[in-house]
A and B are shown apart, each in its own frame.
Chain A
Amino acid sequence: MSEQLALLPGLLTAHLQLALVALALGTLLSVPTGVLVTRRRSLEPGILGVASVLQTIPSLALLAIMVPLLAALGGFTASAFGVELRSIGYLPAIIALTLYSVLPILRNTVTGIEGVDPALSEAARGVGMTDGERLRRVELPLAAPVIVAGVRTAAVWVVGTATLSTPVGAPSLGNYIFSGLQTRNTTAVLVGCAAAALLALFLDQTIRLLESGAAARSRRRWGAAAAVLLALYAYTGASFVAGRASAGARPVVRIGAKSFTEQYILSEMLALQLRRRTGGPAEIVPSLGSTVAFDALRAGDLDVYVDYSGTIFATIMKRTDPFVSREAVLEQVLRFLADEHGIESAGALGFQNTYALGMRADRAAQLGVKTISDLTGAAGTLEIGGDYEFFQRVEWKALEERYGLAFAAQRSMDPALMYEAVRAGDVDVISAFSTDGRIAAYDLVLLEDDRGVIPPYDALVLTGPALEERAPGARAALGALEGAIDEATMQRLNMAVDAEGRSPESVARAFLDGLP
């Protein structure tokens, strides 16, 4: 608990920064647009339509889509204007959250201005106001309570949605939730949820005070609310500047982690190794989407992360042809990364984390299943569960074709829940990861890939082009881990987190301390 709470000030501040900046930008964008709509009625269907469509895009998708969009845009701005855009981190999160805040503010601005008594608009013109004066002195002040109510709605949405910034590399209270769910740390999940809810409630009540103060024309009430908001802005602004200043002083190596236990442990291990060997700072960007991490490394937004040869082979190189051998795949992958993307490997860690079909041992024995071939006949009566990407991946297509697998049902689910589902008998087969600690803990067996369909998944420490520049000696430090972890060790480390409830950081530290 205290370990979780220690992270709270940093994540809360980061979360507040995201929410407040997005809200400010959303307001600056939406209020003038709303005014424009009330002036040019022909624009209303178009503009409100676009805002409504933005709102219907699932928030996680809106955030995720910003990463490739910004990467593409960044390529253009870098060549055209020499301006580098970061495709992960604050920028995609802020843009997506800002867009998300538009609709309620825009709609309320239009409603608020249209709700002004026509007699007052006539009076405003009658006393000699220009259109601009009428807007500033009469319509906006009178519409203010309605507009502020829109900002309040947006604030609650944005605080909630900001938890989804974590997978695009912007730290937020979502860090608790994403890593907590993957490492089965309920405390972390609860701390994240409670903090986000309390923050939303706090902003909601503060803005409500602003709203009722504006409605009652109570300068004291809205002044107090405005002072609280200004203080929050000043605080987040100052912490942003302070963060920039300390970051500017020394280049920080950024280490990515995808959203599963093994990645959390390995990222902690790499960070620790770098700090110990180079003396330089290293920070972890946790819970990234799978391709988000690769795109970020390529773009120089990350310096290091661990990926698997088979994942690059299948997902990035889009190879569907049968592979020759573990060594051949590794060689092809390394050549592709170096030639196409300027990405190097600091070494293979020594274990594979392959996709493997897993079943409960008693169920497999009952059905007499040892290999995937054994499954072919029984599949029609069985259900399979896979992680979100599994059924879209070429490995699954290859399995289906080469083994003629046709399950009664297939379900996509969160990897953490997938193991619980097979343990409870809700599904019969899962797309397990071979190093997962829960395989042993839940008494699962992995079926042999007797036709050699699933490619090898050597864990590789991938390094981006700017690593040596940021931390001289880093490649050598990371290279020291080559071959240091075998499959059994990785399973044990994963289990220490998943089953014993230890933190990834302490597991990683204990492992490094035990190395010769």
Chain B
Amino acid sequence: MIELRELTRLYGDTVAVDRLSFRVDAGETLVLVGDSGCGKTTTLKMINRLVEPSSGQILVDGDDVTSVPGHLLRRRIGYAFQAVGLFPHMTVSENVGVTPRLLGWERERIEERVDALLRRVELEPADYRGRWPHELSGGQQQRVGIARALAAEPELLLLDEPFGALDPLTRDRLQRWFQGLRRELSLTVVFVTHDMVEALLIGDRIAVLRAGRLVQVGRPAELLRAPADDRVAELLATPRRQSEVFERLLAREPT
């Protein structure tokens, strides 16, 4: 369970995140959506303290995140982002096992964990364990990135547009795969995206941010039924509009 209280981040005179408060329940996936520069990534990075807030408080399972050093906090929280950032000088298994190594796990336990995770992300360990990151496709890299984020058995996962740079087919496949994964592991997830289709597909609840402020948060159906304002309504309408365009295009083609 995560709770943000009056979280604020300033960059000079610019307010990136403005008195933001919301909760994420255990086992829930909350998706942060909004335009570029709305503060969603900054908010995510404040949860694992890659960015320190200017004011406000974050509680994870009731404890203030500042009660432990940042690097120890981050070993307990999985984190993956669009650029993936696999270490090019480490093999796939070394990348996945990096946080367990930092935690001082025994070698056998790390090896077992890495193999289990590779199977989990559908990469056959025998084939992929020893490969280098540059030998993987974009989708494979991101799956290894997510495996790395999950390696130390975190209960909380932070994902920043993890599928944003992938081709549509791969993205679609990974989105559906991720749905299964997070349910099986009953993960608590905060997920940043600007793709409304992805938000609706993945989110238990969706939080809409604008200029650093929370405009509305609720279940997808609630947002569709009672949008806070016209722009939220318009944002939620984009998937439907796209599918209508798609339907019209299909209808025009002779079958």
- A residues whose Cβ falls under 8 Å from a Cβ of B: 117, 119-120, 122-130, 133, 137-138, 141-142, 217
Residue of A nearest to B94 (CB): A137
CA–CA, A123 and B162, complex, Å: 13
Stretch from B83-91, B206-214, B245-253 that touches the partner: B83-91
- Distance in Å from the Cβ of A422 to the closest Cβ of chain B? 64
Stretch from B69-77, B114-122, B167-175, B194-202 that touches the partner: B69-77
* A127 and B50 contact, Cβ closer than 8 Å, known pairs A119-B83, A120-B87: no
Contacts of A123 in B (CB 8 A): 81, 83-87
> Can you offer 13 A-B residue contacts whose CB atoms are under 8 A?
A117-B85, A119-B85, A120-B88, A122-B81, A122-B83, A123-B84, A125-B71, A126-B50, A127-B79, A128-B74, A128-B152, A133-B102, A142-B89
CA–CA, A138 and B86, complex, Å: 11
* A122 and B71 contact, Cβ closer than 8 Å, known pairs A127-B102, A127-B148, A142-B89: no
* A129 and B102 contact, Cβ closer than 8 Å, known pairs A122-B50, A122-B81: yes
* A129 and B89 contact, Cβ closer than 8 Å, known pairs A119-B83, A119-B84, A122-B81: no
Q: Is B99 an interface residue (CB 8 A)?
A: yes
Do A130 and B71 have beta carbons less than 8 Å apart? yes
B99: contacting residue among A127, A138, A217, CB under 8 A: A127
CA–CA, A141 and B50, complex, Å: 23
CA–CA, A124 and B79, complex, Å: 11
CA–CA, A142 and B87, complex, Å: 9
- Distance in Å from the Cβ of B104 to the closest Cβ of chain A? 12
A128: contacting residue among B71, B80, B89, B132, CB under 8 A: B71
Q: Is B16 an interface residue (CB 8 A)?
A: no
Q: Is B98 an interface residue (CB 8 A)?
A: yes
Q: Is B193 an interface residue (CB 8 A)?
A: no
CA–CA, A28 and B208, complex, Å: 52
A125: contacting residue among B50, B87, B88, B149, CB under 8 A: B50
- B residues whose Cβ falls under 8 Å from a Cβ of A: 48, 50, 71-76, 79-81, 83-89, 98-99, 102-103, 132, 148-149, 152
Contacts of A133 in B (CB 8 A): 71, 102
CA–CA, A128 and B72, complex, Å: 6
- Distance in Å from the Cβ of A297 to the closest Cβ of chain B? 55
* A127 and B84 contact, Cβ closer than 8 Å, known pairs A122-B50, A141-B89, A217-B89: no
Do B48 and A126 have beta carbons less than 8 Å apart? yes
Contacts of B50 in A (CB 8 A): 122, 125-126
Contacts of B75 in A (CB 8 A): 127-128
Do A122 and B88 have beta carbons less than 8 Å apart? no
B81: contacting residue among A126, A128, A142, CB under 8 A: A126
Do B79 and A126 have beta carbons less than 8 Å apart? yes
Q: Which of A123, A126, A137 has the most CB of B within 10 A?
A: A126
- Distance in Å from the Cβ of A483 to the closest Cβ of chain B? 74
Q: Which of B72, B88, B152 has the most CB of A within 10 A?
A: B88
Residue of B nearest to A217 (CB): B89
CA–CA, A130 and B76, complex, Å: 14
CA–CA, A133 and B148, complex, Å: 17
- Distance in Å from the Cβ of B156 to the closest Cβ of chain A? 13
B85: contacting residue among A126, A130, A141, CB under 8 A: A126
- Distance in Å from the Cβ of B48 to the closest Cβ of chain A? 7
CA–CA, A142 and B72, complex, Å: 24
Do A128 and B102 have beta carbons less than 8 Å apart? yes
CA–CA, A227 and B214, complex, Å: 60
Residue of A nearest to B83 (CB): A119
Contacts of A117 in B (CB 8 A): 85
Do A120 and B85 have beta carbons less than 8 Å apart? yes
- Distance in Å from the Cβ of A104 to the closest Cβ of chain B? 23
CA–CA, A126 and B103, complex, Å: 14
Given contacts A126-B50, A126-B80, A128-B74, 9 further A-B contacts (CB under 8 A): A117-B85, A120-B85, A122-B81, A123-B81, A123-B87, A126-B85, A126-B149, A127-B99, A128-B103
